[in-house]
Amino acid sequence: MDQVKCHHITMQTLASTGNFQKAFDKFFEVMKQLGEELSPNVDPSIIFPAMYATKNDLSKYSTKDLMNIPKMTDKRKQWAMTFMDSIIPCVFVISPLFLPTIANRMMSLSIRCGLTKESSFGLYAYCYCLGCMLQDIDEGYHWIKVTRLMLERFNATELCPKLKLVQYSFLIYMKEPLQSVTNVLFHCREDIMMVGDVEYAILSAHFHCQFAVLTGASLSNAEKECDSLSKEMVRLKQTQSILENASIHHMVLQLIGSDKDPFAIPGITYKDEDEVLDHLESSGNVVFANSIYIHRVVTACFFRRYEYAADMIEKYHSEVGKGSLVLSAVMYAFYEGLVAFRMARSRPNDEKKWLVKGESAIQRYQTWTTHSEWNFENKYLLLEAESLFSQCNY
């Protein structure tokens, strides 16, 4: 087991320094050694049945029943749970469609072999996938509340701030007011730093910046926060999210009319966002590339540059972004809908294609409104109005 521990440290080091693919490769290598080999295949015909199987397994448990599952005793299974928990941040970056595979295996091991403190993060990942893939936000919201109870059973209070961060960043905001969630994320940073987890403290600050900008916070305050965070990322050598933060900062700077360069960061060799995007596309990092496309679409809409926004929508990697419940992707659906109806009116040859995109946005916001009128109803009604106007139904 000492060798497995060394492999775990190696994988964490690779991930923390931005070598996500190498960390991913190490993960698959060790999981095979532990007898829990996983296929990197993200074929929906495999993933969806596995999700429904896990959903069926959990339906047999009440919260009390789940909490009464004995603790895991098999050391190899415990290490497998540790590796899967540690790889989740990498999965979000380079292969988000692989997350259901991780979540299903963690829940399967937890139910069959016993609970560990990592089971709480496996359940959180499963809850997120429930919302993304099966559109079952209510059940995901129910089970995500149970994740805290799992940690408490193991007296793992040092992990509670980290768990709160992922709970609120990836699912709870679909049910609870965005403004209150943004406030929670603001305090998460300090709580996580108190337990010495610098990586997740920086991640919390990054998510707070993103939520604040996308939910209507003061842009001048957001600019200061983004600038401060970039400097802190460099100082603490936590640069895995620095390019995405620079992209958010760039969006804010454009909206306030500043010509300040957000990419003038020590240690960053890219001269501008175009160069960053070229690097991300060529290296296959489509998740971060999508983030830049989202920021560009949002900014273009504010300046009524709809043709440019449409071009960015065409470049967006929809096969990766489809179904995502990351806040930027949820907001992107709204702006994509606005642009789509505009293009349907100005590009008659492509009217049908753009109307399909617009109606898809309406359907998503109609569904999300059933979970939180406060967060989504206003955008749903605006999209409906655009649809009616496009049909000359005044």
Per-residue pLDDT tens digits for 207-258: 999 999 988 889 999 999 999 999 998 888 877 678 889 999 999 999 999 9
E strands of 60-114, at which residues? none
Q: What is the pLDDT of residues 161-177, one digit of tens each?
A: 999 999 999 899 999 99
Return the pLDDT at 2.
Answer: 74
Report the amino acid identity of residue 214.
Answer: L
CA distance 25 to 166: 24
Q: In the structure encoding, which two tokens stand for residue 281, read together?
A: 């596309």
- Write down the mean pLDDT value for the chain: 92
Which candidate, 325, 330, 317, places its Cα nearest to that of 376? 330
Q: Looking at this protein, which amino acid is placed at residue 64?
A: K
Over residues 350-376, the pLDDT tens digits come to: 999 999 999 999 999 999 999 999 999
pLDDT score for 323: 61
Low-confidence ranges of the chain (pLDDT < 70): 240, 320-323, 394
Cα–Cα nearest to 52, from 95, 103, 96: 103
Evaluate if pTM is beyond 0.85.
yes
Q: How many CB atoms lie within 10 A of CB 135?
A: 14
Task: Quote the pLDDT of residue 322.
Answer: 65
Task: Give yes or no for a contact between 242 and 229, defined as CB atoms under 8 angstroms apart.
Answer: no
Instruction: Give the pair of three-digit tokens for residue 305.
Output: 């540059």
235: buried, middle or exposed (CB in 10 Å: 19+, 13-18, 0-12)?
exposed
Closest-CA residue to 91 (of 120, 124, 114)? 124
Q: What pLDDT shows up at residue 19?
A: 84
The pLDDT of residue 321? 67
CA atoms within 13 A on the CB side of 46: 12
